[in-house]
Structure 1
Amino acid sequence: MWFNKTTEDVLTLLNSNLDNGLSSEQVEDHKSKYGLNKFTTKKPKTKVQMFFAQLNDMMIYILLVAAILSAVVGETSDSIIILIVILINAIVGMIQEAKAEKALDALKELSTPKALVKRNGVIVEIPSEDVVPGDIVIIDAGRYIPCDIRLIESANLKIEESALTGESVPVDKDSGITLENEDISLGDQKNMVFMSTLATYGRGIGVAVATGMDTEIGKIAKMLDTDESEQTPLQKKLEQLGKYLGFAAIAISIIMFVVGILQNRDILDMFITSISLAVAAIPEGLPAIVTIVLAIGVQKMIKQNAIIRKLPAVETLGSVNVICSDKTGTLTQNKMTVTKFYCNNNLNDIENLNIDDPVEKLLIENLVLCNDATSSEDSKTGDPTEIALLDIGNKYNLTKLDTNNNHPRVGEIPFDSDRKLMSTINKYSNESFVLTKGAIDNLLNLCTKIYLNNEIKDLTTELKDSILKASYKMSDDALRVLGAAYKAVEDSTALTEDDVEKNLIFIGLVGMIDPPRLEVKDSIEICKTSGIKTIMITGDHKNTAFAIAKELNIATDLSQVISGAELDKMSDEELTNSIDTLRVFARVSPEHKVKIVKAIKSKDNIVSMTGDGVNDAPSLKAADIGVAMGITGTDVAKGAADMVLTDDNFSTIVSAIKEGRNIFNNIKKSVIFLISCNAGEIVSLFLAILLGWAAPLSATHILWVNLITDTFPALALGVDPGDKDIMNKHPRNSKDSLFKGSMFTLIFNGFLIGFLTLIAFVYGAKVYGGSDITLSNIPDKILIHAQTLAFTVLSSTQLAHSLNMRNESKSIFSIGVFSNKYLISSIILGLLLQFLVITIPPIATLFGVYKLTLNDWIFVLLISLVPIIINEILKIFKRSNEKKVRD
């Protein structure tokens, strides 16, 4: 630990020299020992790797087995169709993942920062990757820190560390401190500066103590490499479903084969029939449909300013019930802003400042003139605190350029971390004003008078108490407080440095904070209504974090806030037990963030983590879904995230959650529709063979229905218009089955479709073969006609059933029969294709079907309406029960 060693010890350990730096020979030696100052990263996935990753799925494995079995029994066309489905699924997934990576690459900055180092006694500028441990590094304002550095000299040095620690304001650094305590957080290591942070003020010299993967940021990169990705809730459900369907297909095939053998049927015929049943049990189009529906959701999200890096992330958002959010830049604007001021013995909001009042105007002029930053529409440079002061001047048309022209600076005493003050001397007509700003405690000790209601008065004890009371009130609200004072002098050249900051006249105070984003409060309220808990995780101090959390209604009491130091004293079990009562985690490290996310996940929560800094990256990856900011987010954070927000807007997350919930509901509709249809096929084949009948359907018929007739309505259900009230409901439990609340619908409609298919088969056999025909021994010509009717009824009843699936309790007439134009189009297309298959002779021969008569089509139409009529009646009872529950 370099922070608890003296500078002499550090230089000795690294064999370095402050005056001359490293020699060329030492640099080469250190390069070979420590390597280049850059991260070792994993090779990006190739297109081929992305393609094969899409095939690593239980449903795909089952489809491959089905394709092989189909080929074995001579159903080559079935095998080819299944393989095409698998191919389409893999290509769609691969294209989406590649697109997301390309979009993410476009957000990355390509510039490589430079570093100033002393080598061979000469200061040289080199690429940061060439810095080695032992290098003497020169730090000045505006320069990024190239590696981890132990400071040797510092002068008013301030470092912006928000990307690493989450701290919203620059941190004062002091090379003269030697920290003895070993349990000091990164944010409190005042004698160290870290790679990728930014010097905003002052200057410094230090010795490089860690480079590349050994830096604090490098350690975070290592954490990202070792943290394995987990399956999303939908992936888990579909894998589970695949296993069930696979076992069901095998069990049904074996049972049917045994039944057929016991009935003395031909072994080869029974083997082919058993394979048909296996095919019937598996919804071949399901993987492709889920992939396409998710891909459509991704396109919707892009329009809503979100880049989805992996398809399942869309659905995962829909099941989120805890959002862990970084504070700085995510919940807040990442921009210090003056919100309060104290003048004329009155504490007020900055919006109420009266620029025509001489005292209040002088307060703003003081803050603008006694300032080394710049702030315009085009650029902002300098310390964020000073930029915030200039922004207030801009708001009241007291720009730095104009104010400096009117009152030019003729002298100054720069800010000093010991004095905590800065003073400038500016011309005011025939005299000069000493303008001083800084910490209120130090400033008040230098004031003897007060500028109050346009009069200079003595600064009495009572007035001092009033000023301090206002200061404490602002501090209690986590505002950073700065005081302003002045005095008039006739001849500024006669002033000695010791005289400048004496006998000052107090003007007023300002309080500033990194304020919440305007839209965030409403978004958090929507989350509460939706059963989603928002938790703030930040590197800021406890009071600052609580003030923001309280304003956003995340936390109501200080007992809901815990610091990183307190976390260190808790075991994993203790944290898990108390995690439900905590809302704010302050002053935390990257390791803490991962620990917090894992503790929340241990309570069976689906966790989203949002952030923009390097320090957020490990927790972004550890969460069920990581959401990074696209504008302010670091490349490391974007690389670790599942989703990147291109507008850095917390409210976009709420839109994404809404979209995700609707997508899950639509996927659920598609899955239940497909499986209920497949159940109908199984029921019709199973009962027919059990009763000793001839097979009512061939394997080709089943495959056609599964891949064509069912697929288009299933896709249309996947893009069904979203439920307007979806955000008034709580998130689903991640442990709940995919079929929760829908099992009755699935089983009932499966049996209904199966029975109707058998009725059509019997009807065709009896009408065209006579009432005394034996169903176990039907002549080939009559069998083809009966199978054609069964095939057509199976197809048409499933198409009609798709309308029932739009809502389990609402009537299709109340939600609008034609409100999903894609579904209506798919039903029409399905009927048209079925008609063509039966009507066009070459295709009819391929499918083994017969051209139906007008009476046959009337029968098909009437029987196809049965599922709609029965389901509409059932929905009346469901609505009645729902009303009783609400009442």
Structure 2
Amino acid sequence: MNAVPPTPDNPRGLASDEVLRLRSRDGPNLLPAAPRRGLLQMAWEVMTQPMILLLLVTAGLYGLLGNREDAALLMLSALLVGGLAIYQAHRTERVLHALKDLSAPRCTVIRDGQALRVASAELVCGDRLVIDEGDRLAADARLVEGGTVQVDESQLTGESLPVPKHPGGEGSESSLSAGSLVVQGDGVAVVTATGARTTLGRLGHSLQQLHRRPSRLEAELKQLVRRVAIMALLICLVSSSLHAWRTGSWSEGLLIGLTLAMSLIPEEFAVVWTVMLAIGAWRLARQGVLTREPQAIEALGTVSVLCVDKTGTLTRNEMALVALHDGQAPVDVNGHAPGERAAALLAGAMRASLPHGIEPMDRAIFRAAGGPPPADGRFTPGPRLGVGPGRPWVTHWWRDSEAGGATVWLKGAPEALLAQCSGDPALLARLAECTRNWSSEGMRVLAVVCGRADQAPADGSLPAGLALAPLGLLGFQDPLRADVPAAVAACRAAGMRVVMITGDAPLTARAIALQAGLQAAAPEVLTGVALAGMSDAELRQQLASVQVFARVDPAQKLRIVQALQQRGEVVAMTGDGVNDAPALRAADIGVAMGQRGTDVAREAAALVLLNDDFASLVQAVRAGRRIFANLHQALGYLFAVHVPIVGVSLLPVLMGGPVLLLPMHVVALELIIDPACSLVFEAEPASADSMRVPPRAASARLFTLRAALRSLAVGGLSFLGVLLVQALGHRVGWSDEGLRLASLASIVAGNLLMLAWFRGRHPRGAPGNTALQVLIAGIGLGWAALLALPALARVFGLPPDLPWQWALLPAAAALWCTAQLAWRRTWRT
């Protein structure tokens, strides 16, 4: 049993050595999960694929015909092809597992007196867990600090109504269960059970995986595979029967049919799709972008509008309190002895903030004040109410043991709070003017006000008629990220608009927008109040020119996203709060903040910015365009590369003569095609103009009829080269083995030429493709082995005494690799 009693009297939390001892005793905070696919399971899935089964059937047929040597080699080839497929499957599984680890929830704990952001798996009993709206609890705990917290326990009980929890309550009144969702309020809880010993673990529940629906491009690819498979089956049946009827050899006809089937089965389509998306998601994770849904990678290249928040996305989210106004005049923040009014302002700001919270402005307030005030026994915390729709302020009630009753301190948007204050009009006017001045300088401005009542309402709301008095203003500076202007310029060059949606003041939003370069001139700002009075048609019209929205609540974010989509835009939108979840789901690509985002926002999003960095989102768009372009090129290559193989296989059927392509040849060619279509094209760098062209249409097909015809034409040219070589061989009187060698050599050469064609041209100094260099080197070594080992040549049905001219192919491949490596080294230095 790992449960421990809560320790609310230990505000510093557990010590590091105690954490290590408890984790060693209880293990990680993980629920039983479905086991990963093992090597045996992967091997079974691979070895039962059509390509491997065809190889095994062909080997059996050779064995029945008495050709044991060929049968044994085909069996070995099946193991070799299967081994390559198992390696790729294992690599993909590792990538996906690594991404799953990255996407594991995180939480904030107090240890050694410091607030730390840790993975939920690292929680131990006794940890002081900071909870906030939108958090998904990862362990059982007991609420010990804060106000009333509303918790959704539907995952455990099926009850959809939120359940209130109170610090210090008896039994279930203060207990929090793993898997529950905090829908309102915040506070501190002490972990009482972890892992399988939580309520969720005892009931046998586990984390449910999202069952994603096949994306449009994935469905299109599956339809393409079905069509090619049906066409391949018909060609194999007709060709096998025709050859057997013409020659009277049904065994040879069956071998030709099996060879054609191996050359036509489109198993590479699934390989290229899986490998590109998995490794593409891994590459994005290395750039600070976690992909939760593969559809997001496809759609990244279609995004035409990026809707982003200001704080933490365009700015550093490193708030510093740089200015105070006590109602009379500005106050030097760095002054050693603030006046009485300034001291009251700072004290009130701390009463409305959480001393161990993760909110940047709360931290800035306590840093400026030198830490939380010492407990004097007079004030005890009461109900607390966070920011909500139509309520852009934080409310915190405190019970007053000396004067009786309760005092409330509020911290939030100046225009909203000052409008509710009564008192000296001149004082309110000075504060309003200071708010405008500071906001125009790019500061984040908060007002602090207070009031008194006989008792604090249980829900933390403000009683009707409550008199509020202003204490002053706080001015925060959150500088723009250094790489944002360049990222915004890259978006503009790529045909994408950047729309800033913030809850900050209009003047502050305009100042940051100018610094970021959202528009050349002073940008027009549309406020949430003005937006509320617009019809949908008027909003769509305004969206043609407005790129900055200020004082916008989460519900209005959803309306903006939907209005943009109605204009035909493909929208990516960032969000971090509970109320952002509907807009994140509605956007074509929802993007959650990894550091300051809530668990609900991350669950609703397709991408997670691990560093809350706008530049990484732009890099994700670039990567999405690269992945789609490489996928398109790989499919074109796949179509083209099979044309000469099928053509050579059909030559003896249509024109008579010796069988030029044996099953062993098809296996050797597949060992070239599989890495080329998956690893080589996946590693291709983005084209130089990938971010200088407009986004592709959302309805753009992965592989159009025009693209298919172009691929067939390229493959046809390669097959024409094979025919010319065959004609030359017939003219000079080559043997059947010589003709077979010539067909294999010309197909390999044509394969390399088609690979170069579909890769396209890259600018000088572009990064090289290591996978391509390894592939070409492997081809050269394989060909050299055929030349140097007569026994191996006989296995492939090739003449054992090859003329020296045939060594030109591996020599050319070696020279190509050497030139490429030298080119890369020259331009890198």
Q: Same fold (TM over 0.5)?
A: yes
* Local SS of the residue matching 1:749: helix
* Correspondent of 1:845 among 790, 794, 817: 794
Task: Report the counterpart of residue 691 of structure 2 in structure 1.
Answer: 727
Deviation at 1:802, TM superposition (A): 2.5
The verdict on how the C-alpha distance between 1:862 and 1:722 changes in structure 2, with shifts beyond 3 A counting, is same
Alignment of 1:485-564 (within 5 A): 509-510=473-474, 519-520=483-484, 522-534=486-498
* Correspondent of 1:757 among 719, 722, 739: 722
* Alpha-carbon contact 2:306-2:497 (below 8 Å) kept: yes
Deviation at 1:272, TM superposition (A): 2.6
Deviation at 1:638, TM superposition (A): 4.2
* Local SS of the residue matching 2:633: helix
* Local SS of the residue matching 2:759: coil
* Alpha-carbon contact 1:670-1:715 (below 8 Å) kept: no
1:246 and 2:229 equivalent? yes
Task: Report the counterpart of residue 104 of structure 1 in structure 2.
Answer: 103
1:195 and 2:182 equivalent? yes
> For residues 389-422 of structure 1, what are the alpha-carbon distances to aligned partners after superposition, in whole Å with 9 as ceiling and x for unaligned?
555xx3xxxx4479x99xx999999999999999
Task: Report the counterpart of residue 783 of structure 1 in structure 2.
Answer: 736
> Counterpart of 1:827 in structure 2: which amino acid?
I
Number of aligned positions between the proteins: 673
Deviation at 1:704, TM superposition (A): 1.1
Task: Report the counterpart of residue 90 of structure 1 in structure 2.
Answer: 89
Task: Report the counterpart of residue 773 of structure 1 in structure 2.
Answer: none
Alignment of 1:152-231 (within 5 A): 195=182, 197-199=184-186, 229-231=212-214
**Structure having the higher Rg:** 1
1:690 and 2:646 equivalent? no
Which moved further from structure 2: 288-297 or 247-256?
A: 288-297
The verdict on how the C-alpha distance between 1:264 and 1:845 changes in structure 2, with shifts beyond 3 A counting, is closer
CA RMSD, Structure 1 to Structure 2 (Å):
6.2
Q: Output the CA distance in 1 between the equivalents of 2:183 and 2:746.
A: 67
* Correspondent of 1:835 among 775, 784, 791: 784
* Local SS of the residue matching 1:799: helix
Provide TM-score, normalisation by structure 1. Answer: 0.59
> Counterpart of 1:367 in structure 2: which amino acid?
L
> For residues 586-645 of structure 1, what are the alpha-carbon distances to aligned partners after superposition, in whole Å with 9 as ceiling and x for unaligned?
4345xx988987887788876545434444556656766554433333445445555443
* Correspondent of 1:748 among 664, 688, 713: 713
Task: Report the counterpart of residue 587 of structure 1 in structure 2.
Answer: 553
> For residues 696-749 of structure 1, what are the alpha-carbon distances to aligned partners after superposition, in whole Å with 9 as ceiling and x for unaligned?
222321221122366358633431333343222223334333346855652333
The verdict on how the C-alpha distance between 1:264 and 1:337 changes in structure 2, with shifts beyond 3 A counting, is same
Q: Output the CA distance in 2 between the equivalents of 1:55 and 1:237.
A: 27
The verdict on how the C-alpha distance between 1:626 and 1:240 changes in structure 2, with shifts beyond 3 A counting, is farther
Alignment of 1:412-491 (within 5 A): 440=418, 445-446=423-424, 468-471=432-435, 481-482=446-447
> Counterpart of 2:230 in structure 1: which amino acid?
F
Provide structure 2 residue ranges, at least 5 long, that are not aligned to the other structure: 1-29, 63-70, 107-118, 130-137, 153-161, 168-179, 189-198, 386-392, 399-408, 451-466, 817-829
Task: Report the counterpart of residue 204 of structure 1 in structure 2.
Answer: none
* Alpha-carbon contact 1:537-1:588 (below 8 Å) kept: no
Alignment of 1:658-737 (within 5 A): 658-687=622-651, 689-708=653-672, 711-712=675-676, 715-737=679-701
* Alpha-carbon contact 1:372-1:382 (below 8 Å) kept: no
Alignment of 1:318-337 (within 5 A): 318-323=301-306, 325=308, 330=313
Q: Output the CA distance in 1 between the equivalents of 2:139 and 2:379.
A: 35
Q: Output the CA distance in 1 between the equivalents of 2:241 and 2:664.
A: 23
Q: Output the CA distance in 1 between the equivalents of 2:310 and 2:187.
A: 21
Deviation at 1:658, TM superposition (A): 1.9
Q: Output the CA distance in 1 between the equivalents of 2:250 and 2:300.
A: 50
Task: Report the counterpart of residue 346 of structure 2 in structure 1.
Answer: 368
Task: Report the counterpart of residue 755 of structure 2 in structure 1.
Answer: 802
Provide TM-score, normalisation by structure 2. Answer: 0.62
Q: Output the CA distance in 1 between the equivalents of 2:54 and 2:546.
A: 51
* Alpha-carbon contact 1:330-1:612 (below 8 Å) kept: no
Q: Output the CA distance in 2 between the equivalents of 1:833 and 1:259.
A: 34
The verdict on how the C-alpha distance between 1:578 and 1:83 changes in structure 2, with shifts beyond 3 A counting, is farther
Q: Output the CA distance in 2 between the equivalents of 1:326 and 1:332.
A: 9
Deviation at 1:679, TM superposition (A): 1.6
Q: Output the CA distance in 1 between the equivalents of 2:720 and 2:214.
A: 38
* Alpha-carbon contact 2:315-2:480 (below 8 Å) kept: yes
* Alpha-carbon contact 2:311-2:317 (below 8 Å) kept: yes
* Alpha-carbon contact 1:373-1:383 (below 8 Å) kept: no
* Alpha-carbon contact 2:290-2:610 (below 8 Å) kept: yes
Q: Output the CA distance in 2 between the equivalents of 1:356 and 1:579.
A: 43
> For residues 21-76 of structure 1, what are the alpha-carbon distances to aligned partners after superposition, in whole Å with 9 as ceiling and x for unaligned?
xxxxxxxxxxxxxxxxxxxx99854324999899999x997647756765675575
The verdict on how the C-alpha distance between 1:471 and 1:763 changes in structure 2, with shifts beyond 3 A counting, is closer
- Alignment identity in percent? 21
1:823 and 2:780 equivalent? no
Deviation at 1:574, TM superposition (A): 12
> For residues 270-299 of structure 1, what are the alpha-carbon distances to aligned partners after superposition, in whole Å with 9 as ceiling and x for unaligned?
333233223223455454455445454444
Deviation at 1:787, TM superposition (A): 0.4
* Alpha-carbon contact 2:591-2:606 (below 8 Å) kept: yes
* Local SS of the residue matching 2:212: coil
The verdict on how the C-alpha distance between 1:322 and 1:45 changes in structure 2, with shifts beyond 3 A counting, is farther
Q: Output the CA distance in 1 between the equivalents of 2:32 and 2:243.
A: 55
Which moved further from structure 2: 688-697 or 646-655?
A: 688-697
Provide structure 1 residue ranges, at least 5 long, that are not aligned to the other structure: 1-40, 116-126, 132-137, 154-192, 202-211, 214-220, 424-434, 448-458, 486-501, 770-781, 868-887
* Alpha-carbon contact 1:289-1:714 (below 8 Å) kept: yes
* Local SS of the residue matching 2:182: coil
Alignment of 1:600-615 (within 5 A): 608-615=572-579
1:269 and 2:252 equivalent? yes
> For residues 129-166 of structure 1, what are the alpha-carbon distances to aligned partners after superposition, in whole Å with 9 as ceiling and x for unaligned?
699xxxxxx9853786556357999xxxxxxxxxxxxx
The verdict on how the C-alpha distance between 1:481 and 1:225 changes in structure 2, with shifts beyond 3 A counting, is same
Q: Output the CA distance in 1 between the equivalents of 2:578 and 2:42.
A: 28
Task: Report the counterpart of residue 146 of structure 2 in structure 1.
Answer: 141
* Alpha-carbon contact 1:93-1:311 (below 8 Å) kept: no
The verdict on how the C-alpha distance between 1:294 and 1:146 changes in structure 2, with shifts beyond 3 A counting, is closer
Q: Output the CA distance in 2 between the equivalents of 1:327 and 1:243.
A: 47
Q: Output the CA distance in 1 between the equivalents of 2:290 and 2:40.
A: 20
Q: Output the CA distance in 2 between the equivalents of 1:140 and 1:50.
A: 49
> For residues 825-879 of structure 1, what are the alpha-carbon distances to aligned partners after superposition, in whole Å with 9 as ceiling and x for unaligned?
42132022123135423432332222353354178689999x9xxxxxxxxxxxx
The verdict on how the C-alpha distance between 1:269 and 1:802 changes in structure 2, with shifts beyond 3 A counting, is same
Q: Output the CA distance in 1 between the equivalents of 2:365 and 2:642.
A: 69
